[in-house]
Amino acid sequence: RIHDQQDFAGMHAAGRIAAQILDEVGPLVQPGTTTAALDDFIRNRVTELGTVSATIGYRGYQHASCISVNHVVCHGIPGDKILADGDILNIDVTVILDGWYGDSSRMYVAGKPSVKAKRLIQVTHDSLMKGIEAVRPGATFGDIGWAIQSYVESNRMSVVRDFCGHGLGRTFHAPPNVLHFGRPGKGPVLEEGMFFTIEPMVNLGRPETKILADDWTAVTRDKLLSAQFEHSIGVTASGAEIFTLSPANLFFPGFD
Ligand SMILES: CCc1ccsc1-c1ccc(O)c(O)c1
Ligand SMILES: [Mn+2]
Ligand SMILES: [Mn+2]
């Protein structure tokens, strides 16, 4: 569905709240805290900021965030896991404001990251920005996928293929599937007014993932580290508008 100026304003307002919550949770990411405590903070802020959680009640999920630690690729369930020094984690938050969805995730580090973890996080963030730089009317979704894949693989890391980005707006998930790999010029053509997420998952090792016995949590098969960043964006005449940029312009909250 193609959107108008009012719709862009609605998405911007929703995305800004998701980004603010991701800013605010950064200082809480410390060794010794639990992922459940982080989710409790997020759940409270979602309500205090006048939004509704999109994930509580979604397909039976009962938390305000997904928190994916170390070799968890995505859909990590908040719980009693106590963070240890050097743990890297993705926190993924989706809020609804006046019917508009803001879906975003970032990487955080408890204590001091290893050099490899720092490089993985940097490459993953930069691959998302490369994908966003490929967005303009007339480009294709294959251009986005190629921009991400070529950058990641030139850094000798791998792109997860089992999960993708998605259309969103007044619903959480809609077509098209936004693949984080692809070939230039292939796939559907981007049109001004399209809204979707780009949410690349990057592995230090092989791309393969598997789902744990909880039928939910996705992990790398080789148990090496994985990282993810996600933005909700809109296609504009000149390129892309990022709805979920940090209002405080924080780059890596919880990262020195
Ligand atoms: C908890 C939300 C959920 C449930 C099944 S897939 C999923 C999910 C998680 C993060 C996302 O960015 C997303 O688009 C969907
Ligand atoms: Mn998300
Ligand atoms: Mn998403």
Give mean pLDDT, residues 132-138.
98
Alpha carbons 238 and 207: distance in angstroms, whole number: 33
Structure tokens at 196: 């979707």
Distance CA 130, CA 118 (A): 18
**Burial code of 230-246, b = ≥16 C-beta within 10 A, e = fewer?**
bbbbbbeeeebbbbbbb
pLDDT tens digit sequence for 74-132: 999 999 999 999 999 999 999 999 999 999 999 999 999 999 999 999 999 999 999 99
- Angstrom distance (rounded) from CA 169 to CA 114: 37
Cα(179) to centroid(ligand 3), Å: 12
Specify the pLDDT at position 202.
98
pLDDT of residue 253: 47
Ligand nearest to the CA of 92: 2
- Copy the structure tokens of residue 70: 């170390």
The arithmetic mean of pLDDT across residues 14-31, rounded, is 97
CA 156 – ligand 2 centroid, Å: 25
ipTM score = 0.97
Ligand 1 pocket check for 61: Cβ under 6 Å: yes
Instruction: For residue 230, give the DSSP letter.
Output: B
Share of the chain above pLDDT 70, in %: 96
**Among the listed residues 149, 147, 150, the one whose alpha carbon sits nearest the alpha carbon of residue 134:** 147
Per-chain residues with Cβ under 5 A from ion ligand 2: 92, 103, 105, 230
Taking only the tens place, the pLDDT of each residue in 200-216 is 999 999 999 999 999 99
pLDDT of 10 strictly over 60: yes
Nearest ligand (C-alpha, residue 18): 2
Kindly state the helix (H) or strand (E) to which residue 196 belongs, with its residue range.
Answer: strand 195-198
Q: Reduce the DSSP state of residue 240 to 3 states and report it.
A: strand
Measured from the CB, is residue 87 less than 6 Å from ligand 1?
A: no
Residue listed under structure tokens 């973890």? 117
Spatial distance between the Cα atoms of 114 and 192, rounded to a whole number of angstroms? 41
Ligand 1, closest atom to CA 61? 1
The two three-digit tokens of residue 26, written as one number: 């950064």
Average pLDDT, whole number, for the chain?
96
Whole-number pLDDT of residue 248: 80
What ligand 1 atom has the least distance to the C-alpha of 199?
Answer: 12
106 ligand 1 Cβ < 6 A:
no
- Give phi and psi for 179, each to the nearest 5: -80, 145
Inform me whether the pLDDT recorded for 58 exceeds 80.
yes
